[in-house]
Structures are given as C-alpha cells and as structure tokens.
Amino acid sequence: MTNTSTSDANISLAERAWNIRHKSLRMGAVQKQGYVGQALGVSDVLAVSYFHAMTFRPEDPEWEGRDRFLLSIGHYAIALYAALLEAGILPEYELETYGTDNSRLPMSGMASYTPGMEITGGSLGHGLGIGVGMALGLKRKQSESFVYNLMSDGELGEGSTWEAAMSAAHHKLDNLICLVDFNDQQADGKSTEMLSSEPVDAKFEAFGWYAQRVDGNDIDGLVAAFDNARNYEGAKPRAIICDTKMCKGVPFLEEREITHFVRVDEEEWDLALKVLEEGKPS
Amino acid sequence: MSLSRRLSKWEPRKPVDASERQLTSAMIASLSAEGMPTVSAPFGHKLVELAKEREDIVGLSADLAKYTDLHVFAQAYPDRFYQMGMAEQVFVSAAAGLAKEGFTPFATTYAVFASRRAYDFIAMAIAEDNLNVKICCALPGLTTGYGPSHQATEDLAIFRGLPNMTIVDPCDALDTEQAVEAIAEHKGPVYMRLLRGKVPSVLHEIEDYRFELGKAKLLRDGNDVLFITSGFMTMRALEAADELAKDGIKAGILHTPTIKPLDVDTILEHCRKPGRLVITAENHSIMGGLGEAVASTLLRNSVTPAFRQIALPDEFLDAGALPVLHDQYGISTEAMIRQTKAWLG
C-alpha cells in the first residue's frame, strides 16, 4: 500500500484520524496491551465516519436523530473509544480507565457499558443483522438517519453476515451502510487463507448491494466513497470495503510480523507514541 | 404399543392392518382430547387485539408465520409484519434492532430453531442488552411426532441458563391469551412456548384463575400428592387428579407457567405441607427444566418432601403418533396416573 497524501479540504480529517490513533495507543499503553494493530488500521475509516459522514450530538449520545454506528467487531472497542473520546461523546479523562475494573471502557465493546456503543459485539457476525432491524425500525419511524455497521473481513466467514446481507437487499434498506475493515488478518492468520471471502465487492453486489472498494487509509478516497454511499439513489443497501493496513502510522509496528494480537513489548509503547507523534499531520 | 429407535434400520418391517394403523402426528397434531373445548389460534388473535392499542407491536417470522398463528397478525397488520425468510440468525438479530428503535417485536418460529440455531444471537443481541423482544415458539417439547429435528425437548434447559430471560410455558388457550398480554406489558426479553392451531381450553373451568407473570397458581388442593406442572402437563394433571380421586388419592395441582423467574415463595409454601409426595410434570427433558428448577429450589431452602419427576427422558425421541409417544415417554394422562400410583406404593 502506498502512502497517501490528503487534500487540503480534508486535512482536518487527517488530524482527527491521527488523534484517534494517538488515543488508541495511549489506551494500549495504559494496559500494556490492546488491539492497537486494528485500531491504527481503522482510524481513517472512523475519522471519516464520525467527522465527515455522521450526524450526532456529543452531549446526547441517544438523540433520536443521530446516525447509528454499530461496532460488530467487539475487540475493535479500543478504536471506537478513541473516536468517541475524540467526538466528545466520552470525556477525555476516562481514557486512562481503559480496561481497568469498573471502567466504562472494557476491552470488548458492550452496549450496556459505554455511551455511544450501540450494540454488544464480540461474538462476531452479529452487527449487520441488528443493523437490518434498526434500519427497518428507522424506516417505520420515517427517520432520515443512517445505520453504519463496522465489521471485519473475518466476519465475512459467518453465515449470519450473509443472511443479513440478503435480508438488507430484500427489504431495500437504503439507509444501511456496511463498512468492512479488510486488513486480511484474523485470529489464526490471513483472512484470505483461513476462509477466503474474495471477491468481496462482487459478493455484496451479487447479494443486491451497491458496493465500493477503497483504500481504507486514503482519506480522500474514503470521503468520496462515503459521499457516494450516502447519495446513491438506488433502493439498495450500501457496502464500502476498506482495504486497510494494520498498525498504520507506526512504521516499526507496520513492519513487524502482523498477527491478530500484534506484539508490542512493554518498553515499546512509549516508542510507538513517539514515532506516531513524529508523523503528526501539520 | 411402544416404539423403539433401537430396532435395526436394516430390519424390514411389515405394514400393520389398516384398522390398527396409527397416523404419525407431524405438524398439525392436536393436544385436545375428544369433545374438549378448543380455541382457534389464541396467540394470533390476542396479538391482533393488543396491537390495536399498541402501535409499538410488530411481528416477525422466519418462514413459519402460518405455523405459529402469526399469520393472523400478518393479515390484520401487513405493514407491521416482517417476513424474514428461513434465516433464523438475522430474524432474531433484526428483532433486536427493531426493539432498539423502540418497537416491541413478537418473533415466532419453531422452538428447536430459536433455541438451537439462533441461541448466540438471542444471548448477545437480545438478552445481554435486555431488549424488549418476545420470542414465541411453536412445537415445544414433544408436540410433534416428526422426530428430533422438530422436537424441542431441551428448550427450557437452554434458555434457563440465559440471564435476563423470562420463560413462559402456558397450559391452554386461556393461559396463552393472558400470557401474551402479560409479556407484552413486561419490559425485557421473553421466551414463550406456543400452543397453536386448535388449542384446548381448560383453565376457564377453574374459578378465579388468571395468568400472572412470575406467579404459580394452586388450581386444586389435595393431601396425598402435589403436582407442580407447566404447559399442557397442567391439563394432564387436572385429568389425572380426577381419575386418582376415584381411587381415593387426593392430588393438588400447582400450575407454574412461568419457568423463570420461578415463583419460589409459592412453591416452598406448598411443598412445606407435610406428608405429601411432590411430583413435577413437564413436557420437557428431565434435564434442566421445571423439575430440576423446583428440585434445586427445594434443596437450597432445606425443604425436602418426597420428590419425583415426570418428564421426557434424556434421549432423542422417536418419530410416530403423538398419543403413542406421549404414553411411551410417560407424559400422557394414563402414564401420569400409572407413575403416581407406583410411587405412592
């Protein structure tokens, strides 16, 4: 994947993405562990979701008029907390409670713990189906809101994902946008070597979706894809498959052997933060 | 007559004479005895009635609306009914999503499919978030002769272990109608066993009976035996008690249609009465249902009457005619009487 530069208009999104990376790493440093590889990879997608595409009120996370954001991949909670902190939905000082007892920021995302965490993820392949129901419900209420479901490429292996994909198209859910973080990594190895879901965009199209595939670390490309997804006029659900690079923004981690739970040694947390800070967008 | 899965599948069978032939009770088995009053589709009709006042009520089915009496609702409110197709995982997840948006979904399928196939989605999408979804399932326990694929003999065991879940096993048409109303009022997830089609009606004969969520009701008292029952086994217990009375055996019946939360106080109160054999009777495996729930409640509270369980065995059951199967597995009225007399000695 090539390094991408961001157009002037989207510089603030690059800053938001950097802030999400930085907060994720700081949370990882609190526990000396965490799914920071995934968080660093998906930060651009989250920045464009929260700071370009979505409507929400930070002071009222359950405001009826909000766009819904479902985190199907519970272990990406560290990344979503960073986005929720950056969006002002969670107070900044709670960052250092990450993963501690009685924290509102447990390591896996749960609806009952955290403002802004719409669903309980973790048992993978759940988000899209719940999204179908919420999208149906929003239509019943004649709401203009969108439902965004963020899932991983690994979740494409779950049959429930495809039940939901078929259902969303059948019910013409044009208010449902599925974001797939395609980092080609799952617990036992590369997703494409565990149970290949390729060609993913063609599969979504065959299931009746409007599908796009983009470089998930290219903010300009993401902005265009989100705009296309929101403005598409067909009565179809929309998928954006985002090819991302795990550990993006911290070169020494990017170059490390990538695994599901990327190894960061105890003394490397400070170094990772330092390296990230050197790459801060100006 | 008794069936057995243990006969070798390699052994050819001769047809029996047409006059002796028992027809397999597949999907349309009725539980009512000859001449018993019945009500048609009590669940569906009651839901339609409630939905007139409650715009938040919506219905979903996974290709089994017609077989769960939800078609009555679908016909009355086509725009409030979601056909989710033969896809139980998204069916349950979508019900969760609709509940999150403020609706009260009644989701129907067969008990085997909800409990075995959609469990993780019910657990995480619905129960963990304590969402207001009512899962109402036909063919609970042994109510079809179709075989294990459709016999939900362990559904109560599966759902009893799930936090936040309320579990209801109504007896008859009256119980079903009143239970639908009660679970629609209740905030939180519910699993209800459904009797569908022409459903027997017996509880209207009990003076002042009314279904109350979480409450066990003493339908009659007796000094020799106390039956603690749920579902249609309460109907069987009423019949059995009449027959036992002819032999001078006085049986009480504590109808316990809410399996979880169990009405511990009422159960303990009636089990403390000395000198009485306590018999639980349920249309469910002997593992993990009403019987074990009552047994552990009694032991935990140091109430230890003589105790027996009428329940289905811990086996995959035979296919066949329902009356034959009920008798073979001990949950017919006659089998209940036989077992009770044997235990009383």
Please write the tens of the pLDDT for every residue from B84-138: 999 999 999 999 999 999 999 999 999 999 999 999 999 999 999 999 999 999 9
Helix or strand run (H / E) with residue B48: helix B42-53
Is a pLDDT exceeding 90 seen at residue B15? no
Beta bridge partners of A148: A69, A177
Is a pLDDT exceeding 90 seen at residue B8? no
The whole-number average pLDDT for the span A207-231 is 98
Q: B231 near B140, Cβ under 8 Å?
A: yes
Distance CA B143, CA B312 (A): 12
Is a pLDDT exceeding 50 seen at residue B320? yes
Look up the ipTM and state it: 0.93
Calculate how close chain B gets to A177, using CA atoms only, in Å.
Answer: 15
Report the residue of B55, B92, B101 to disrupt the A interface, i.e. the one with the largest count of A CBs within 10 Å.
Answer: B101
pLDDT at B280: 98
pLDDT at A260: 82
Rg (alpha carbons) of chain B, rounded to whole number: 20
Q: B308 near B339, Cβ under 8 Å?
A: yes
Give me the residues of B, 72-91, that contact A with CB < 8 A: 82, 84-85, 87, 89-90
| CB pairs < 8 Å spanning A and B | 100
pLDDT at B27: 54
pLDDT at B30: 64
> Where in chain A are the domains?
9-278
pLDDT band per the 50, 70, 90 thresholds, residue A185: very high
Distance CA B313, CA B153 (A): 9
Residues of B in contact with A146 (CB under 8 A): none
pLDDT at A1: 37
Look up residue B259 and give its two tokens: 């399996």
pLDDT at A4: 55
Length of chain A: 282
pLDDT at B20: 81
- pLDDT tens, A221-276? 999 999 999 999 999 999 999 999 999 999 999 998 888 888 899 999 999 999 99
Superfamily, domain A9-278: Thiamin diphosphate (ThDP)-binding fold, Pyr/PP domains (3.40.50.970)
Look up residue A114 and give its two tokens: 């955290």
B88 carries an active-site annotation: yes
Calculate how close chain A gets to B130, using CA atoms only, in Å.
Answer: 9
* B55 near A CB under 8 A: no
Q: Do B103 and A140 touch (CB under 8 A)?
A: yes
- pLDDT tens, B270-308? 999 999 999 999 999 999 999 999 999 999 999 999 999
pLDDT at B4: 65
- pLDDT tens, A6-46? 777 777 999 999 999 999 999 999 999 999 999 999 999 99
pLDDT band per the 50, 70, 90 thresholds, residue A169: very high
Q: Do B82 and A131 touch (CB under 8 A)?
A: no
CATH number of B214-344: 3.40.50.920
HSE (CB half, 13 Å, CA atoms) of A239?
Answer: 30
Is a pLDDT exceeding 80 seen at residue B319? yes
DSSP secondary structure of B155-201: HHHHHHTSTT-EEE---SHHHHHHHHHHHHHS-S-EEEE---SEEE-
Is a pLDDT exceeding 50 seen at residue A2? no
Among B100, B120, B128, beta carbon nearest to A134: B100
Q: What is the pTM of this model?
A: 0.95
Question: Among the options B88, B154, B177, B282, which is catalytic?
Answer: B88
* Chain-centre distance for alpha carbon A28: 17
* B164 near A CB under 8 A: no
Which phi and psi angles does B168 have, rounded to 5°?
-125, 135
- pLDDT tens, B21-73? 877 766 555 677 767 899 999 999 999 999 999 999 999 999 999 999 999 99
What architecture is the B41-200 domain classified under in CATH? 3-Layer(aba) Sandwich (3.40)
